[in-house]
A and B are shown apart, each in its own frame.
Chain A
Amino acid sequence: MSTVEHKQWSARVRESAEKNLPPEQLLPDEQPVYVHSWIYVFGVLTIAAFAVVLASGVWLSLEGPTWWHTSKIGLFVNSLHLWSVELFFFFMVIHLWGKFWMAAWRGNRSMTWVTGSIAFLASIGAAFTGYLSQQNFASQWIASEGKDGLNSAGVGAFFNVLNFGQMFMWHILLLPIVLGVLVVGHVLLVRKHGVVPPYPVEGQAAFDTGPEAVVDVGASSDDEGGAS
């Protein structure tokens, strides 16, 4: 008789989550000292803009096209949706530049980089289908210009930009789900592997990497030291 214990999938998932993402690592109250820089702010700014995109998008979905085309509040929420997307891309591109120049895939962070890159591509698709869903001359122009490029790549058979209903469903259902899953996975990977440190200054020791290399940002003045 075998003595091997077969755990249920729920137990395996729980144990994996406890091992990789303990609560103090998932919701930390301290950060590495090198995070004390504006360049580390743009990731969370991107998420903040994404939250406004989602909230305004849900509001638009609840009220419907007639509302956002005819009422002043609807027009305002529609504009809020557009401008939060503009800020989302603005912050995300600066976040991308910052992470690219500090080679954020270092220290076993390759999947963090990959999920961020795929999320960027999914965001372009979400924005593109959003522009196609405006129901105005601009969206018709974009669709008629875009169809030839997509057809030349063999995509048009199952992603038809002239099919408004299909593009609308991609925009309000499929791509938000894909993007939401990618963003959650990206943030969990950042929490698991820690925030990437900058390159060390020549002649100085490298920063410790990983979530264990943290300092208490609320420490007393006795602990205060110079910048690293």
Chain B
Amino acid sequence: MGAISMRLGEVLLGAVVNLNHPAHYFHRGWFQISVANLMVILLMIVVFILALFLPFPGRRVQ
């Protein structure tokens, strides 16, 4: 039972992002970056913008 649930966890996690291959690269002229790094940078920009504009929960007391 334990082995089955362990195998199930591996399958479910592995299905989200399969990392078992050489890295993909974005390449335009002199500019080259791995897709993983590009995704992280874009995600940081999105989170930064959301942090500026999303309302913070709770009361704001002057």
Contact = CB atoms under 8 A, between A and B. Distances in A.
A98 B48 contact: yes
A72 B62 CA distance: 52
A97 B54 CA distance: 17
B61 A94 contact: no
Overall SS of chain B's interface: helix
Interface in B39-54: 40, 43-44, 47-48, 50-52, 54
Interface string A198-228: 0000000000000000011101000111111
Contact of A36 (B40, B48, B60): B60
Contacts of A8: none
B62 A36 contact: no
A41 B51 contact: yes
Contacts of B54: 38
B29 interface: no
A221 B54 CA distance: 23
Interface residues of A, number: 24
B51 A94 contact: yes
B61 A33 contact: yes
Interface string A124-159: 000000000000000000000000000000000000
A228 B62 CA distance: 7
B47 A94 contact: yes
B21 to A, nearest CB: 14
Contacts of A33: 60-62
B37 to A, nearest CB: 11
Contact of A224 (B40, B43, B59): B59
B23 to A, nearest CB: 11
B4 to A, nearest CB: 15
Contact of A217 (B40, B50, B52, B61): B61
A36 B51 contact: no
A112 B58 CA distance: 28
Given A86-B40, A217-B59, A224-B59, 5 more contacts: A38-B50, A94-B47, A97-B44, A217-B61, A227-B60
Interface of B: 6, 40, 43-44, 47-48, 50-52, 54, 56, 58-62
The 9 A-B residue pairs with the shortest CB-CB distance in the complex, in nearest-first order = A225-B62, A38-B51, A36-B60, A39-B51, A94-B48, A219-B61, A36-B56, A37-B56, A227-B60
Interface of A: 33, 36-39, 41-42, 72, 86, 90, 93-94, 97-98, 215-217, 219, 223-228
12 contacts: A33-B62, A38-B50, A39-B48, A39-B52, A41-B51, A90-B43, A90-B47, A94-B47, A98-B48, A215-B61, A216-B61, A227-B62
